[in-house]
Amino acid sequence: MTSVQESRTLHAPMKVEFDYTRSLGPVLSQFMTGLRRRQVTGGVLSDGTVVVPPPEYDPTTHRAISEIVAVGDEGVVRTWSWVAEPVMDQPLDKPFAFALIQLDGADAPLLHAVDVDSPADMETGMRVRVRWAEETVGAITDIACFEPLPSSTDAGSELPNEPGSDAEAVTGIVSPVRLAYDYAASPEESKFFRGLAEGRILGQRCPSCHKVYVPPRGACPVDGVPTTDEVELPDKGTVTTYCIVNVPFLGQKITPPYVSAYVLLDGADIAFLHLILDTEADEVRMGMRVEAVWKPRDEWGTTIENISHFRPTGEPDADYETYKQHL
């Protein structure tokens, strides 16, 4: 995290990314396979109307949709709105229009983008045509966007158009989701991390039950009141409980076996999780006295990683009575 002087709290950019892998049922599978072959399709409802994209179930009879038909790749704009400031991952990265477009042969419009330079180039009722992506994979983004047709070509699109028709059937899609945030720590967490940048461990005491929380929280989870009083804690404590990590996993930084432990700092009422190193894993035990091993000062930031790990102090083990309520 980087410190922002004018801000009460610490902020850092945060990205959350995940590729959702989704299987397709029979209806959407046909729709996506069609797109891959550069052919738009719709579903025929019980009243005979054609809806694009095809719904999986009829909205009136609730029966599964079974009839899928090809529609044109040209159509009419039924309504539109101007995207003056596009956001990440939209079909176009310059200003464009979103529109509901009724394709020739369809009775309900499809939501997609229209590539024009200005809102003055958009009009309800105008004709547009699919601009296919260079490579089609079986996704709604195979339609890169729509583009206006000159008004002289009002004849309507041919049905069906000429697709690359032997592309493999599509049974699933991968939808990448990328979200970006300005992530802020709470005021209490911010004090904690700023303290760490100075080599100090700061907790806070509940004014009601007098328990000391580290890292400090916005409110005492017992009393629901803000933990207002700052308490500086030593970097020594007691192992209350621990586990030996034997299983390798993606991103693991230490070679197993090693120990993750709850360390109850002297004077604190809540233990926090850290590593116990500089000893054999099978030497670690409940009640073991440990101390923080700090990284070199020039590597410190506003992060818990300033403490590399904890190691045994060599003191006699703590009496069980001193930590039993934390188990």
Residues that bind other proteins (CB under 8 A): 7-9, 14, 16, 20, 22, 24, 28, 31-32, 51-53, 55, 59, 78-84, 87-91, 98-100, 108-113, 119, 122, 124, 139-141, 173, 175, 177, 179-187, 189, 217-226
Q: With respect to other proteins, which residue has the nearer C-beta, 35 or 275?
A: 35
Q: With respect to other proteins, which residue has the nearer C-beta, 155 or 209?
A: 209
Least CB distance to other proteins at residue 313 (A)? 32
Least CB distance to other proteins at residue 240 (A)? 18
Question: 36-66: string of b/e by CB count within 10 Å (b at 16+)?
Answer: bbbbbbbbbbeeeebbbbbbeebeeeeeebe
Q: With respect to other proteins, which residue has the nearer C-beta, 41 or 242?
A: 41
Least CB distance to other proteins at residue 156 (A)? 19
Least CB distance to other proteins at residue 116 (A)? 12
The two tokens of residue 176 are 């990448």
Q: With respect to other proteins, which residue has the nearer C-beta, 32 or 68?
A: 32
Least CB distance to other proteins at residue 145 (A)? 9
**3-state secondary structure string, the chain?**
CECCCCCCCCEEEEEEEEEEEEECCHHHHHHHHHHHCCCCEEEECCCCCEECCCCCECCCCCCECCCEEECCCEEEEEEEEEECCCCCCCCCCCCEEEEEEEECCCCECEEEEECCCCHHHCCCCCEEEEEECCCCCCCHHHEEEEEECCCCCCCCCCCCCCCCCCCCCCCEEEEEEEEEEEEECCHHHHHHHHHHCCCCEEEEECCCCCCEECCCCCCCCCCCCCCCEEEEECCEEEEEEEEEECCCCCCCCCCCCEEEEEEEECCCCCCEEEEECCCCHHHCCCCCEEEEEECCHHHCCCCHHHEEEEEECCCCCCCHHHCHHHC
Q: With respect to other proteins, which residue has the nearer C-beta, 101 or 276?
A: 101
Least CB distance to other proteins at residue 319 (A)? 26
Least CB distance to other proteins at residue 133 (A)? 12
Q: With respect to other proteins, which residue has the nearer C-beta, 27 or 288?
A: 27
Q: With respect to other proteins, which residue has the nearer C-beta, 219 or 277?
A: 219
Least CB distance to other proteins at residue 325 (A)? 13
